[in-house]
Amino acid sequence: MAELVLEMADTLELDARGMYYRELNARLRNCVDRGNCGRVVIRNVCGQRYIGTGLRRRVCIEVEGTPGNDLGAFMDGPSIIVRGNAQDACGNTLNSGEVIVHGRAGDVVGYSMRGGRVLIRDDVGYRAGIHMKECGGQRPRLVIGGTAQPFLGEYMAGGVILVLGLTMPAGQRHRADFIGTGMHGGVIYLRGQVEAWQLGREVGTAEPDAADWREVEELVRAYVACFGGDAREILAGPFTKLFPLYLRPYGNLYAY
Amino acid sequence: MKSYLASRFVIDRNQDRCIHCRVCVRQCGFDVHSYDVEEDEIVSSESRCVGCHRCVLFCPTGALTVRSNPLSYRANANWHPEAIEDVLKQAETGGVLLTGMGNDKPYRIYWDHLVLNASQVTNPPIDPLREPMELKTFLGAKPERVEIDPATGALVTPMPPQVAIEVPILFSAMSFGSISLQVQESLARAAGQAGTLFNTGEGGLHRSLYRHADHAVVQVASGRFGVDAGYLEAGRMVEIKIGQGAKPGIGGHLPGEKVSVEVAATRMIPPGTDALSPAPHHDIYSIEDLAQLIFALKEATGYTKPVGVKIAAVHNVAAIASGIVRAGADYIAIDGLRGSTGAAPKVMRDHVGIPIELALAAVDTRLRQEGIRHRVSIIAAGGIRCSADVLKAIALGADAVYVATAALVALGCHLCQMCYTGKCSWGIATQNPYLSRRVNPDIGARRLTNLLRGWSHEIQEMLGGMGVNALESLRGNRLHLRAVGLNEHEMRVLGVRPAGE
């Protein structure tokens, strides 16, 4: 059975080998709630769900291995770094904090997130950034280093999605179609090629303006700081800005 | 385009009684009445009248009468006036017809074909004025068996989280946005005073209502509006909204004009944007995925409170409910064909879903057959009008019921079905501050607690009459019901025998 193996002044380590998620998360919550540690390292993670879910304190959680679904769901503050791939619904309804994945992530990354940021080094699955929204001073940001499956940014209501396309051979277009279907807020920046037929009906395209560039540059620098790479080369683009054509996409649907 | 739709209502103003005080002008949210200064006359645009009777009830001299417009179409049982008028409206707008409140079509109301038992001679009735009558209900999963330490008498079996309610009636989900904050506060306060719960709906919990959070069911829907860790921690129970009886299978669109600054802050979205709840939760495509969200919410709340799932009553409701139990829900709320809404496409409201009585009986039967009934509480919703309906639902297998329409009627709603316009003259389904301040939460809470008190006394009377002194003894006890005027198939689904047998 796994044990709490090492306790340093500021860092706690958990060995998740063979541990059921409920016990792992109870231990993690216990570490975080004790309040005297700034960093928790979880080793040998293998599919355990809900790591970091509902945690509300600023703490850095490093996950070595492959965390299961709903990584950091409803999270409000912590920073999770995954040294491996993430599965589905990572950053689900994230309120603040960040999730950094040194690999790829599954479906519905950042579902309904309204704050904080999620950075994925490689590709993501279906419906990434669906229903992202912003509120007051909160503006969620999702950075995808590779490409995405269909319905990227579906029903998007706020925040920023940046897709860098770094995993794709030069000249190949992005994989997703139905991008931004139902989008009525926020903005998506796509680096690389995308055809008009890949976009949802509610989406318009434009060249990024000066303010867009500042945003893209900041996020690219954040990406490079996490995963390495050449910011200048990435920023050479080309970038397309996708924005909602209508703030009320279904306003004319009804007879009053 | 010239409208071919006639006015639904005729307004008669008795000029002998009218004192030109203009109360009707101010009270109408739909701008039906207006004052002509030059003529010193009040004129009424009948085409705008929705028949909510606000003006009639507030006219100090009783000068107003509102009645249905006796537009006499040539008699036609097939093309009845509603069918004709719906076609005209769509021809003029090209839109999806919207409506509010619950299904108004004459589907069979099974409550009205079920009668309760009473004791005579052999098993004497109990006098609820003299004897204790237990209405307290515990919501939450129950263990398979209970072990008690014989030495200390203490419970050894770990108990899943339970929520005790003093009456088996909860206020159903109504979001801030669909109803005014004053109405939600009335519900919250009444729930606190009566020892039951209200339900936030999918619009979050306004910061001023967090002090009532201990009586709140906090809902998590596909749009995740207003959901954060603090909201989940605050509520007494957490409810995943999959569907609702008025619009099974579709999501919700709260139009931007209803998203006021306060509604926006509570939903955690910018003011004025549409709040779109997609039809599915995009992290739920299977029972396994539902289990994932249930346990995400349990993880987020430290396994301290029941996590339930609300579904609309649909054809395969029993199998779906079985899946929900196996997914780990602590309670299931089932919302029937007559469940209400603040806005739904009329075609969905009127034609999709099945009556709650049949759904409830089917679910209770199925879960018993599978030996998993104890693992969930069942809350029945959609069409509960009186205490007898409550008791019949409990005899059919419900642990408790949700009421929404009855609560709004208690606050003044006259079921004009125009909630979706946001112009509610009764100040209920509106975000217009001029209208919403008509509901005073002090008085609103009193009207609601009065209703619950009245129903509780009636339930105690009926229970006493049956010779039963605890609601628990009636729960799922269909021998206390008999059917009048139902066919064999209906009685088989309901699990009740015909009256006289």
Residue B106 confidence (pLDDT) above 60 = yes
Residue B256 pLDDT: 82
Distances B18 to B12, B13, B426 between C-alpha atoms, Å? 11, 7, 22
CATH number for the domain spanning B31: value is 3.30.70.20
Q: What is the DSSP letter of B498?
A: E
Picking from B42, B63, B95, the residue at the C-terminal end of a domain is: B95
The whole-number average pLDDT for the span B71-76 is: 86
- Sign of dihedral through CA atoms B49, B53, B57, B58? negative
Cβ A113 vs Cβ A91: under 8 Å: yes
Cβ B346 vs Cβ B103: under 8 Å: no
Taking CB atoms and an 8 Å cutoff, what residues of chain B touch A70? Answer: 283, 292-293, 296, 299
For residues A138 and A115, give the distance between their C-alpha atoms in angstroms, rounded to a whole number.
Answer: 5
* Residue given tokens 């919990």 in the structure block: B205
- Tell me the Ramachandran region of residue A103: left when phi exceeds 0, alpha when psi lies from -120 to 50, beta otherwise: left
Chain B residue with minimum CA distance to A29? B302
Q: Is A246 on the interface with B (CB under 8 A)?
A: no
8 Å CB contact of A182 and B265: no
User: Of the candidates B273, B293, B299, which has its C-beta nearest A54's C-beta?
Assistant: B299
Q: Would you say residue B357 lies in a domain?
A: yes
Least confident of B114-123, B231-240, B308-317: B114-123
For residues A231 and A199, give the distance between their C-alpha atoms in angstroms, rounded to a whole number.
Answer: 27
Taking CB atoms and an 8 Å cutoff, what residues of chain B touch A114? Answer: 228, 268
Judge if B81 and B178 occupy the same domain. Answer: no
For residues A145 and A234, give the distance between their C-alpha atoms in angstroms, rounded to a whole number.
Answer: 10
The model's pLDDT over A172-214, given as tens digits with 9 standing for 90+, comes to: 899 899 999 999 999 999 999 899 999 999 999 999 999 999 9
Q: Is A254 on the interface with B (CB under 8 A)?
A: yes
- State the pLDDT confidence band at A5, using cuts at 50, 70 and 90: very low
User: Is residue B401 within a helix (H) or strand (E), and if so which, with residue range?
Assistant: strand B400-403
Q: Which of residues 217-236 of B touch A (CB under 8 A)?
A: 222-224, 227-230, 232
Q: Would you say residue A97 lies in a domain?
A: no
- Tell me the Ramachandran region of residue B20: left when phi exceeds 0, alpha when psi lies from -120 to 50, beta otherwise: left
Taking CB atoms and an 8 Å cutoff, what residues of chain B touch A56? Answer: 229-230
- Tell me the Ramachandran region of residue A229: left when phi exceeds 0, alpha when psi lies from -120 to 50, beta otherwise: left
Q: State the count of interchain CB pairs (< 8 A) between A and B.
A: 136
Residue A171 pLDDT: 82
Taking CB atoms and an 8 Å cutoff, what residues of chain B touch A25? Answer: 299
For residues A22 and B212, give the distance between their C-alpha atoms in angstroms, rounded to a whole number.
Answer: 30
Judge if A115 and A149 occupy the same domain. Answer: yes
8 Å CB contact of B229 and A56: yes
User: Of the candidates A95, A107, A250, which has its C-beta nearest B228's C-beta?
Assistant: A95
For residues A248 and B216, give the distance between their C-alpha atoms in angstroms, rounded to a whole number.
Answer: 31
Q: Would you say residue B265 lies in a domain?
A: no
Side chain identity at B443, as an amino acid letter? Answer: I
Judge if A221 and A136 occupy the same domain. Answer: yes
Judge if A126 and A179 occupy the same domain. Answer: yes
Q: Would you say residue B485 lies in a domain?
A: no
Beta bridge partners of B403: B171
Residue A6 pLDDT: 41
The model's pLDDT over A36-67, given as tens digits with 9 standing for 90+, comes to: 778 999 999 999 999 999 999 889 999 999 99
Average pLDDT value for chain B? 95
Picking from A90, A118, A138, the residue at the C-terminal end of a domain is: A90
Instruction: Please count the structural domains in chain A.
Output: 2
Per the model's pLDDT, the better-predicted residue between B274 and B422 turns out to be B422
Q: Would you say residue B490 lies in a domain?
A: no
Q: Which of residues 31-70 of A touch B (CB under 8 A)?
A: 49-50, 53-56, 69-70
* End-to-end alpha carbon distance in chain A: 63
Residue B441 confidence (pLDDT) above 90 = yes
DSSP SS3 for B485: coil
Picking from A63, A90, A117, the residue at the C-terminal end of a domain is: A90
For residues A16 and A46, give the distance between their C-alpha atoms in angstroms, rounded to a whole number.
Answer: 8
8 Å CB contact of B93 and A114: no
Quote the minimal CA–CA distance from B103 to chain A in Å: 18
Residue B274 pLDDT: 83
Residue B220 confidence (pLDDT) above 70 = yes
Picking from B95, B123, B154, the residue at the C-terminal end of a domain is: B95
CATH number for the domain spanning A164: value is 2.160.20.60
Mutate to test the interface with B, among A133, A156, A184 (most CBs of B within 10 A): A133
Judge if A25 and A138 occupy the same domain. Answer: no
Instruction: Please count the structural domains in chain B.
Output: 2
Q: Would you say residue A95 lies in a domain?
A: no
Q: Would you say residue B501 lies in a domain?
A: no
User: Of the candidates B90, B268, B296, which has its C-beta nearest A70's C-beta?
Assistant: B296
User: Is residue A164 within a helix (H) or strand (E), and if so which, with residue range?
Assistant: none
Q: Is A130 on the interface with B (CB under 8 A)?
A: yes
8 Å CB contact of B95 and A255: yes
Picking from B38, B70, B95, the residue at the C-terminal end of a domain is: B95
Judge if A174 and A247 occupy the same domain. Answer: yes
Residue B97 pLDDT: 94
* End-to-end alpha carbon distance in chain B: 61
Judge if A27 and A125 occupy the same domain. Answer: no
For residues B457 and B129, give the distance between their C-alpha atoms in angstroms, rounded to a whole number.
Answer: 9
Chain A residue with minimum CA distance to B263? A135
Taking CB atoms and an 8 Å cutoff, what residues of chain A touch B232? Answer: 54, 74
Q: Would you say residue B143 lies in a domain?
A: no
Backbone angles phi, psi at B489, to 5 degrees: -60, -45
Judge if A146 and A122 occupy the same domain. Answer: yes
pTM metric for this prediction: 0.94
CATH number for the domain spanning B241: value is 3.20.20.70
Domain residues for the domain of B449 are 165-252+280-472
Q: Is A108 on the interface with B (CB under 8 A)?
A: yes
Q: What is the DSSP letter of B374?
A: G
The model's pLDDT over B304-356, given as tens digits with 9 standing for 90+, comes to: 999 999 999 999 999 999 999 999 999 999 999 999 999 999 999 999 999 99
Peptide bond into B124 cis (omega under 30): no
Mutate to test the interface with A, among B231, B299, B420 (most CBs of A within 10 A): B299
Judge if A78 and A133 occupy the same domain. Answer: no
Residue A248 pLDDT: 77
Least confident of B78-82, B251-255, B309-313: B251-255
Judge if B296 and B194 occupy the same domain. Answer: yes
Residue A2 confidence (pLDDT) above 50 = no
Determine the Cα angle at B95 with ends B92 and B96, to 5°.
Answer: 130
Judge if A17 and A122 occupy the same domain. Answer: no
Picking from A90, A115, A148, the residue at the C-terminal end of a domain is: A90
The model's pLDDT over B175-212, given as tens digits with 9 standing for 90+, comes to: 999 999 999 999 999 999 999 999 999 999 999 999 99
Q: How many CA atoms lie within 13 A of B372 on its CB side?
A: 19
Determine the Cα angle at B94 with ends B90 and B100, to 5°.
Answer: 60
Judge if B209 and B299 occupy the same domain. Answer: yes
User: Of the candidates A25, A70, A127, which has its C-beta nearest B282's C-beta?
Assistant: A127
Judge if A236 and A119 occupy the same domain. Answer: yes
Domain residues for the domain of A202 are 104-256
The length of chain B in residues reads: 501
Q: Is B94 on the interface with A (CB under 8 A)?
A: yes
Q: Would you say residue A64 lies in a domain?
A: yes
The whole-number average pLDDT for the span B26-45 is: 95
DSSP string, B207-243: GGGGGGGGGEEEEE-TT-TT--HHHHHHSSEEEEE--
Q: Would you say residue B260 lies in a domain?
A: no
8 Å CB contact of A73 and B296: yes
* Residue given tokens 């020892």 in the structure block: B195
DSSP string, B425-436: TTSSS---HHHH
Judge if A56 and A112 occupy the same domain. Answer: no
Q: What is the DSSP letter of B176?
A: B
Chain A residue with minimum CA distance to B417? A256
Taking CB atoms and an 8 Å cutoff, what residues of chain B touch A155? Answer: 276, 278
Judge if B296 and B390 occupy the same domain. Answer: yes
Backbone angles phi, psi at B277, to 5 degrees: -100, 115
Judge if B88 and B180 occupy the same domain. Answer: no
**What ipTM score was computed for the predicted complex, to two decimals?**
0.91
8 Å CB contact of A95 and B98: no
Average pLDDT value for chain A? 91
Cβ A73 vs Cβ B300: under 8 Å: yes
Determine the Cα angle at B144 with ends B142 and B145, to 5°.
Answer: 105
DSSP SS3 for B414: coil
Residue B71 pLDDT: 76
Longest CA span, chain A: 65
Judge if B355 and B236 occupy the same domain. Answer: yes
- State the pLDDT confidence band at B405, using cuts at 50, 70 and 90: very high
The whole-number average pLDDT for the span B36-54 is: 94
Taking CB atoms and an 8 Å cutoff, what residues of chain A touch B223? Answer: 112, 131
Cβ A128 vs Cβ A155: under 8 Å: no
Residue A15 pLDDT: 94
Judge if B221 and B314 occupy the same domain. Answer: yes
Cβ B155 vs Cβ B485: under 8 Å: no
For residues B5 and B473, give the distance between their C-alpha atoms in angstroms, rounded to a whole number.
Answer: 54
Judge if B447 and B330 occupy the same domain. Answer: yes
Mutate to test the interface with B, among A74, A139, A245 (most CBs of B within 10 A): A74
Q: Is A111 on the interface with B (CB under 8 A)?
A: yes
For residues B246 and B351, give the distance between their C-alpha atoms in angstroms, rounded to a whole number.
Answer: 9
Q: Is A85 on the interface with B (CB under 8 A)?
A: no
Q: Would you say residue A151 lies in a domain?
A: yes
Q: Would you say residue A111 lies in a domain?
A: yes
8 Å CB contact of A131 and B299: no
Cβ A28 vs Cβ A40: under 8 Å: yes
Distances B422 to B257, B259, B416, B436 between C-alpha atoms, Å? 9, 11, 12, 10
Judge if A59 and A179 occupy the same domain. Answer: no
Residue A206 pLDDT: 93
